[in-house]
Chain A
């Protein structure tokens, strides 16, 4: 089955159920998990990305395009992640950040530089390869972070409140840019947020961490 499948995915801490999700996210679709802080959003995220701590018990299955991800380490899952902050590597240039994400299979200096250049052009950042990430504006950094995630050719995307740190006018533009790219590249995505506005813009189903539908107006 294509897409990201959360097959009765449940997380318990000391016996208490925190996450209970059972959903199929089709390519190009965005599933939103919404809830106030402390409701288990980040636990759900950790379960999908594979960074759940030893105090949590996981049951159920997680598959991506038919491949079982449950129990795989983060790096082998092929799930891309966008953080609340951009988390660009400060010791690398913008191009270095992107090159870090390029699959090793793409060989040759020239070819890798070209791939980096193309990705930057796509994000409207042509010629930024040698820039220090610390000198970029918030919007520019967010776009670099997204391109870095996409260059790793992820099978699915996880968005962890990726727009909450941006100013109001920047926010709408970046959100549109990200969501358009997800639809264009036909990537299944999970958005974790507490902002009804983001949830509405995503346009998909909206659940709370325990799998109950949520109205975006709430």
Chain B
């Protein structure tokens, strides 16, 4: 009975763990905004209009672009061989932390980067790097590109997870039989069914893109930086008098995100109306297939190529000896950088591993408890609860983490591994929930009925049937959580008080120094840890159930 009671309480506890820190942190961060003329001084800062415009512009542009590529890929190609290939290549990219993706892109695109080296001097005539402003450009194009690289795989996987409930193949067949083109049929008949399920993810992508700090530091402009990057500069400034300005800036940032979300909401309604009107015209729009298919495939492949190239560049730099422009490859390879980085790499990797394992395990346990409570007591999360779950992803991190850090400092828990793991949990849990909810709900309920009819208690059904049968999905969700934790920058920096150093905080700190070899080693390990987790999530069930054909993927 007590176990039952605890289980019943699990969903509420989880929501409290999600929303509590966000609301408390928000209050703590924004309170100083109303002190010491914070807002007036912020408005005096000449960089404000541009920083705010950058935040809005890069956020909206990257969201629209990633969404277009992801939707285009699914609409034009799903079911085909090319799609399977792109999906297979994109999935592992989900594990690439934002900072590593940004660094990889920077290595590739810089005027002294790999692309320029590969083309010089034979094609370009450059014997020294051209004086071109590609990275940190004032319009934020490089930052937008970096964000698109990271968000396309995410949106695509969310989309794929939502498809089964939309009955896509039959709807498509119906539309095709009515003479509609593939893309037109998908957009008119499938998208409306899929959209409600992916809406929170799109909102989260928009909010994240507008407020990303680590990517903005590496790729974004600096004259001025994006609003969120500037806020972090102010918040960590020794000049106390600037803190109210930072708080006012956080308020503005929050307002910007909410405004952008409202704009997206309006666009949704408008597009839905437009879609209905288009559907009523009855035009079949077969022409869309001819150019949208190749365009989406090109976009998807470009994302794969750039990411893979960036990661390969990082790897090569970590082993590079002397490598001057315009050589396409280093003069020789060696382990110097690894040997030099080793004393720092070891502890940082261990701390990263510990944090990720802790937060992923906690999150997986909580999500399992929530889902089991949903199954046993019919405690299905309402719309409000679902939004609360998404709250940490939609709320700008710079708006609530500083307040949370201060709270942690006052209570004395800040700076401990546990406190940082708890902060990671806030960001890890929504992703674990998203990954696990679909396979959990898709589990054939007749197994449970069969178990019950054989006299099994709910506990026995959970431990002996559901858990082992869903082991692969559960471990995959845990691996997703693990990867999310590895990539956390701001929560680790602020809640850890500088005493908790992970591969990601080190990589971002080093990135300002520009030593590509050392950065390469950190980024490589940052990449290796989540990949290791995913490999384990695949290998463990495969080994356990090697003699069970019915447990194989796709069975």
Q: In the complex, what distance in Å separates the CA atom of A74 from the CA atom of B545? A: 29
Is B547 on the interface with A (CB-CB < 8 A)? Answer: yes
Is residue B456 within 8 Å, beta carbon to beta carbon, of the partner chain? Answer: yes
Dominant SS at the A interface? Answer: loop
Q: Are A89 and B447 in contact (CB under 8 A)?
A: yes
Identify the closest chain A residue to B469 (Cβ). Answer: A91
Q: Mark A139-163, 1 if CB is under 8 A from B, else 0.
A: 0000000001100101000100000
Contact with A89, one of B453, B465, B549 (Cβ below 8 angstroms): B465
Q: B548 interface residue, CB < 8 Å from A?
A: yes
Bound-state Cα–Cα, A58 to B547, Å: 44
A81 touches B450 (CB 8 A): yes
Are A78 and B455 closer than 8 Å at their CB atoms?
yes
A152 to B548, CA, bound (A): 24
B139 in the interface, Cβ–Cβ < 8 Å?
Answer: no
Partner of B548, one of A103, A132, A148: A132
**How far apart sit A91 and B471, CA to CA, in the bound complex (Å)?**
10
State the A residues within 8 Å of B (CB). 49-51, 54, 73-81, 83, 85, 87-91, 93, 100-101, 103, 132-135, 148-149, 152, 154, 158
20 cross-chain CB contacts under 8 A = A73-B452, A75-B451, A75-B453, A75-B454, A80-B453, A81-B453, A83-B446, A85-B446, A87-B446, A89-B447, A90-B548, A90-B551, A90-B555, A91-B468, A91-B550, A132-B550, A133-B550, A134-B549, A148-B454, A149-B454
**The residue from A51, A78, A91 contacting B545, defined by CB atoms under 8 A apart:** A91
Residue among B378, B455, B547, B551 with the highest chain A CB neighbour number at 10 A: B455
A79 to B449, CA, bound (A): 11
Task: Give the CA-CA distance A89 to B444 in the complex, in Å.
Answer: 11
A-B contact sample (15 more), CB < 8 A, given A49-B453, A75-B454, A75-B456:
A49-B449, A51-B449, A51-B452, A74-B452, A75-B451, A76-B455, A79-B453, A85-B446, A89-B447, A90-B551, A91-B550, A133-B550, A149-B453, A149-B454, A152-B454
CB distance from B550 to the nearest CB of A (A): 3
**A149–B454 CA distance with the chains assembled, in angstroms:** 7
Q: How far is the CB of B467 from chain A (nearest CB, A)?
A: 10
Shortest beta-carbon distance, A191 to chain B, in Å?
A: 16
CB distance from B463 to the nearest CB of A (A): 12
Assembly CA distance A51 to B375 (angstroms) = 13
Given known A132-B548, A133-B550, A134-B555, contact A100–B464 (CB-CB < 8 A): yes
Nearest first, the 10 A-B pairs at minimum CB distance are A90-B550, A134-B549, A74-B452, A81-B453, A134-B550, A152-B454, A101-B454, A75-B452, A91-B468, A87-B450
Q: Does B124 sit at the interface, judged by CB under 8 A? A: no
A152 — which chain B residues lie within 8 A by C-beta? 453-455
